[in-house]
Structure 1
Amino acid sequence: MKLLRWGPAGQEKPGMLDAQGTARDLSGLVPDIAGPVLSDAGLAMLRGLDPETLPEVPQDARLGVCVGGTGKVICIGLNYSDHAAETGAEVPSEPITFMKATSALCGPNDPIIIPQGSKSTDWEVELAIIIGTQARYIPQSEAFSHIAGYTIGNDVSERDWQKHRSGQWTKGKSSDNFGPVGPWLVTRDEVTDPQDLNLWLSVNGTRMQDGTTKTMVYGVSFLVSYLSQFFTLLPGDIIMTGTPPGVGLGMKPPRFLKPGDLVELGIDGLGQQRQEVIDDPRV
């Protein structure tokens, strides 16, 4: 099952895809793709619907972040052995964990906004986990039961701010529109093995990243269990699981995004994103 949210930013409505790939409106049945709807019981209720009996979403409707009510966006750094190698870093002995501000979240096809003063805005295609039920101190064997599903994330990053502006990585990760998520939440029953997915990213039609979740250092079930030892994971929380090699920072010389660029990315079975790169219109 593929769930989505559509409509203007801040006014998104819930929806789902039918078997033909047409978006259908769920707003008459559930308030949002959030909270109890993300539980096994909530997803089972949606799975029992006949999507073709639901109103069609306008074809030109904007897609928003595919999950609502997100309290935390937790990111994992250097979680692909080949990406760590390209940046000259050692594989961490424990997952590197940092937060991305929820205000950075945006729809999968919304523009990437270059923030004022940025010269090093970079791309990162990532498998994102959507938490479905509360998890605290859970063993790895129970991790999947707390996952609602998966989606695509682009962990857009300002590298100079991340590395040189003192302190944690959060400042380089949290500008507005630095968190495209979607296009849809694919429920976990449709993803046979999250550790066997190809993921890719192109800039202006040139393939930059072409990897597989097989090379993740810390896998999906480990990460959910591990993070639950430090804080409670809640329905709607998003875990960005790291990126494969091919980021702009790792190129020689480094290459970063500029206004007018087009970023496209995708993951097997999870859809695709498309983002135009623009200057901040508020400056």
Structure 2
Amino acid sequence: MTERPRFAGFSHQGTLKYGLVKGDGIVDLSRRHGARWPSLREVIEAGALLRLAEEAVSLEADYPLCDITLEIPIPAPEKLICVGVNFPDRNEEYKDGQAAPSNPSLFIRFPRSFTGHGQPLIRPPESPQLDYEGEIVIVIGKGGRRIPEAEALGHIAALSLCNEGTIRDWVRHAKFNVTQGKNFDRTGSIGPWLIPYTDASQLADIVLETRVNGELRQQDRTSRMIFPFTKIINYISTFTTLVPGDVIVTGTPTGAGARFDPPIWLKPGDVIEVSADGLGTLSNTVADEA
């Protein structure tokens, strides 16, 4: 099977760029196309991901990966929407006797709350309860409102991974609100890259795993999701218009640190790896906020 193209947002000597990962290097596509498409969001809006991948086949890498910093792939999405409680075992954690909900729980995160692959998640001084949540990301390529489920997959441009890091005690500061605990700066990560979406097999039944210091903590399959990707896109687009570059984080399996007895919070030096079939591995360490 031919390796799928991998698009990344990155910074080099303080300048934000985007490119195509080739082996242990990256082709700087922003140097060639940045005037027309300043970021991968505009590339996606133009439907140009696969065209740029074909163009870059004959190009040499401009930088080795060791000379760049990987950033979140879409630097300024109009919307970054997260789905909560989307695996059966995760729903059972709540022990409230309720069956799986009929509609997904949603919340918003800000881009500043995420960092890129290889960078540390930042534990804030306000709480030691930094936790991990491995998830699959879908990026919208074709916008729309009230998108039928039968057409929903055709609106996906690309896939990625997320560690939807959470400050657990801050998600309980209010009665019906998790926003605070989900938006501390650089507590989560997205990456390492975008994989163009071309067929349903890329999402239908893939394994999603999270490891902490090499120990498997989370594992499940997308075929078991309570709300499939088609339902998520249909539901969200009912109340808001989805536009190219919108990022949807689709839910985590059971096994987060909060569910251990006693809870196991992330601490400086820990290594968290989120992996999924065909998408690679998103890896981050942890550091205390300076």
Which residue in the other structure is 1:73 paired with? 80
> Quick check: 1:15 aligned with 2:19?
yes
For 1:237-276, list aligned pairs within 5 A: 237-276=246-285
1:139 and 1:47, CA in 2 relative to 1: closer, same or farther beyond 3 A?
same
For 1:173-252, list aligned pairs within 5 A: 173-189=182-198, 192-252=201-261
1:48 and 1:8, CA in 2 relative to 1: closer, same or farther beyond 3 A?
closer
CA distance in 1, matches of 2:250, 2:62: 33
Measured after TM superposition, the shift of residue 260 of structure 1 is 2.3
Which residue in the other structure is 1:30 paired with? 33
1:137 and 1:105, CA in 2 relative to 1: closer, same or farther beyond 3 A?
same
Q: Which amino acid aligns with 2:148?
A: P
> Contact (CA 8 Å) 2:27, 2:56: kept in 1 or not?
no
> Contact (CA 8 Å) 1:262, 1:277: kept in 2 or not?
yes
Measured after TM superposition, the shift of residue 224 of structure 1 is 0.9
Deviations 1:238-268 (A, max 9, x none): 1010001111111222211122222122111
Task: Give the number of aligned pairs.
Answer: 280
CA distance in 1, matches of 2:61, 2:24: 14
2:59 aligned to which of 53, 56, 67: 53
User: Cα RMSD between the aligned structures?
Assistant: 2.0
For 1:74-89, list aligned pairs within 5 A: 74-88=81-95
1:102 and 1:198, CA in 2 relative to 1: closer, same or farther beyond 3 A?
same
What SS does the aligned partner of 1:226 have?
helix
CA distance in 1, matches of 2:199, 2:19: 17
What SS does the aligned partner of 2:284 have?
strand
What SS does the aligned partner of 1:229 have?
helix
CA distance in 1, matches of 2:40, 2:141: 8
> Contact (CA 8 Å) 1:34, 1:69: kept in 2 or not?
no
Deviations 1:143-176 (A, max 9, x none): 1222111100011011111123444111010111
CA distance in 1, matches of 2:250, 2:163: 11
1:229 and 1:266, CA in 2 relative to 1: closer, same or farther beyond 3 A?
same
Which residue in the other structure is 1:92 paired with? 101
Note the residue ranges of structure 1 that are not aligned, 5 or more in a row. Answer: none
Measured after TM superposition, the shift of residue 9 of structure 1 is 9.5
Task: Give me the TM-score of the superposition, normalised by structure 1.
Answer: 0.91
CA distance in 2, matches of 1:222, 1:53: 39
> Contact (CA 8 Å) 1:71, 1:102: kept in 2 or not?
no
CA distance in 1, matches of 2:13, 2:283: 17
Note the residue ranges of structure 2 that are not aligned, 5 or more in a row. Answer: none
Which residue in the other structure is 1:123 paired with? 132
Measured after TM superposition, the shift of residue 80 of structure 1 is 0.6
1:37 and 1:204, CA in 2 relative to 1: closer, same or farther beyond 3 A?
same
Structure 1 stretch displaced more, 51-60 or 122-131: 51-60
Deviations 1:77-111 (A, max 9, x none): 10111111134354222100111122112112211
1:70 and 1:9, CA in 2 relative to 1: closer, same or farther beyond 3 A?
farther
Q: Which amino acid aligns with 2:70?
A: L
Measured after TM superposition, the shift of residue 35 of structure 1 is 3.5
What SS does the aligned partner of 1:63 have?
strand
What SS does the aligned partner of 1:162 have?
helix
1:181 and 1:146, CA in 2 relative to 1: closer, same or farther beyond 3 A?
same
What SS does the aligned partner of 2:58 have?
helix
> Contact (CA 8 Å) 1:3, 1:33: kept in 2 or not?
no
Q: Which amino acid aligns with 1:77?
A: G
* Identity between Structure 1 and Structure 2 (%): 33
Q: Which amino acid aligns with 2:74?
A: V
Task: Give me the TM-score of the superposition, normalised by structure 2.
Answer: 0.89
CA distance in 1, matches of 2:186, 2:48: 29
